[in-house]
């Protein structure tokens, strides 16, 4: 994939700008980076604190030829790419909290917001927005109790640009593997090896009623397999979120 990278001093949200440009017809591989976001967005309508140079805030435009229902798995693909890149560039060993938070020492260091635009069940474009806390000390209220930064976790010194390039390189590899099968088959072992909740008790916050179980890893569709007394339930992201029974992980 050929990346075209546009750097801004300040934007309300790189996702919003990427989506606007995608509507205007920019190609797959367009990357929008901002040093600062004034209205950074998280999942479920949360805000994402994105101070000047406190982290890497960027969005990537994708135009895969896939049915819309396959698109949410791309978030897991992006999470794996970020985990690999952080490990390569900083020497730290990040894990993934399903589906797509990157954690260090049980705290969130990166969030991913994937936004889909579809027409009649086929994908028009997907914007994958990635926020990596590099040296942030202030976090949005919703994340404050369980957020951290690469610097706070003892990353060796690195250039932010080098980490961005590493994420894009790793994403290219992971995305290529994803496109071969349109699922996680070729990434499954690696993803599950990174899963912070694996074989741990979790609480599934299902709008239809919360329940407890043991997380056993994800399947090819990216669903989290949660073992309950009555059997194993595949949990899909979206409405449902998963917590550790004692807190965030
Ligand atoms: C989450 O964990 O809730 C997702 C956070 C995603 C934040 C990134 S920062 C770059 C991109 N632009 C946004 O407005 N949000 C994403």
> Reduced to 3 states, what is the DSSP secondary structure of residue 70?
helix
Per-residue pLDDT of 195-237, as tens digits, reads 999 999 999 998 889 999 999 999 999 999 999 999 999 999 7
Give just the sign of the alpha carbon dihedral 189, 154, 60, 140: positive
104, 91 Cβ separation under 8 angstroms: no
Domain residue spans in the chain?
A: 4-194, 201-244
Answer yes or no: CATH 3.20.20.70 is held by domain 201-244. no
Ligand 1 centroid from CA 130, angstroms: 5
Q: From residue 161, give the alpha-carbon distance in Å to each of 55, 181, 214.
A: 11, 31, 39
Per-residue pLDDT of 126-169, as tens digits, reads 999 999 999 988 888 877 788 999 999 999 999 999 999 999 99
Beta-carbon neighbour count of residue 180 at 10 Å? Answer: 9
Per-residue pLDDT of 14-73, as tens digits, reads 999 999 999 999 999 999 999 999 999 999 899 999 999 899 999 999 999 999 988 889
Q: For residue 46, give the nearest of 129, 149, 107, 127 by alpha carbon.
A: 129
Q: Is the CB of 111 under 6 A from ligand 1?
A: yes
Q: Is the CB of 100 under 6 A from ligand 1?
A: no
Give just the sign of the alpha carbon dihedral 141, 129, 134, 54: negative
Per-residue pLDDT of 80-113, as tens digits, reads 999 999 999 999 999 999 998 999 999 999 999 9
Pick among 3.20.170.30, 3.30.930.10, 3.40.50.1100, 1.10.10.60: CATH of 4-194: 3.30.930.10
Which residue, by CA, sits nearest to atom 7 of ligand 1? 131
Q: Is the CB of 108 under 6 A from ligand 1?
A: no
pLDDT, residue 83, reads 98
Q: Is the overall model pTM greater than 0.85, yes or no? A: yes
Which spans in the chain are helix H? Answer: 14-24, 73-90, 160-181, 188-193
144: buried, middle or exposed (CB in 10 Å: 19+, 13-18, 0-12)? Answer: exposed
Ligand 1 centroid from CA 39, angstroms: 10
pLDDT, residue 240, reads 77
Residue 131, both tokens: 């926020």
Q: For residue 132, give the nearest of 83, 76, 169, 61 by alpha carbon.
A: 83
d(CA 125, CA 123): 6
**pLDDT above 70 as % of the chain:** 100
pLDDT, residue 200, reads 92
Q: Which residue has the tokens 């690469």?
A: 150
Give the orientation angle of helix 73-90 with respect to helix 160-181, to 10 degrees.
140
């Amino acid at each position: 994939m050929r990346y075209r990278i546009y750097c801004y001093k300040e934007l309300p949200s790189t996702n919003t700008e990427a989506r606007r440009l995608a509507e205007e017809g920019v190609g797959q591989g367009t990357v929008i980076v901002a040093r600062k976001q004034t209205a950074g967005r998280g999942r479920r309508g949360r805000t994402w604190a994105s101070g000047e140079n406190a982290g890497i805030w960027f969005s990537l435009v994708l135009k895969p030829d896939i049915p819309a229902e396959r698109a949410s798995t791309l978030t897991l693909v992006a999470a794996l790419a970020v985990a690999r890149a952080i490990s390569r560039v900083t020497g730290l060993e990040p894990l993934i909290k399903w589906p797509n938070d990157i954690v260090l020492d049980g705290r969130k260091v990166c969030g991913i917001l994937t936004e889909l635009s579809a027409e009649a069940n086929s994908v028009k474009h997907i914007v994958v927005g990635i926020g990596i806390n590099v040296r942030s000390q202030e976090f949005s209220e919703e994340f404050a109790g369980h957020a951290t930064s690469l610097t706070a976790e003892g990353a060796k010194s690195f250039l932010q640009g080098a980490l961005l390039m590493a994420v894009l390189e790793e994403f290219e590899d992971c995305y290529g593997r994803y496109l071969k099968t349109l699922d996680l088959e070729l990434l499954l072992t690696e993803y599950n090896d990174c899963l912070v909740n694996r074989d741990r008790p979790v609480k599934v916050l299902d709008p239809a009623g919360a329940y407890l179980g043991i997380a056993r890893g994800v399947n090819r569709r990216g669903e989290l397999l949660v073992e309950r007394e009555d059997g194993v339930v595949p949990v899909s992201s979206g409405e449902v979120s998963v917590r550790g029974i004692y807190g965030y992980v």
